[in-house]
Amino acid sequence: MTKNSQKNENPANASKDAAVEDFVSRLADEHKMLVVLKAQLYGGSWEAMLDDLNNRLAGKPYIFKLVNRINEDIERIEQLRGFESQYGVDLADHVELT
């Protein structure tokens, strides 16, 4: 069960909740891990995480060493960040890494 599994009375909120629940249920473990890392290591900021990954690619100092899928992770982050922006949610409130 997720942190935000309460039902809302407002039809717009119910639609948003359904969209978030559907999106989260289809996330691969790699996506879920990025959401968790964003929350735990980067203070909830996609920007800080992307800066870190891009710095690593550029050979600059970086904070956290992910595996060698940096470009794939950057694409995943863009997708996740876009969804959060579109629905005004923080996926960390909805994702549990299994």
pLDDT in tens, 19-53: 999 999 999 999 999 999 999 889 899 999 999 88
Three-state DSSP state, 37: helix
What's the pLDDT at 72? 84
What's the pLDDT at 61? 76
What's the pLDDT at 5? 46
Please answer whether residues 94 and 36 qualify as being in contact, where contact means their C-beta atoms are separated by less than 8 angstroms.
no
Q: Is residue 3 predicted with pLDDT exceeding 60? A: no
What's the pLDDT at 46? 95
Full-model pTM: 0.62
pLDDT in tens, 47-95: 999 998 898 888 887 766 555 577 888 889 999 999 999 999 999 999 8
Q: Give the residue ranges of DSSP H helices in the chain.
A: 11-25, 29-41, 46-57, 70-87
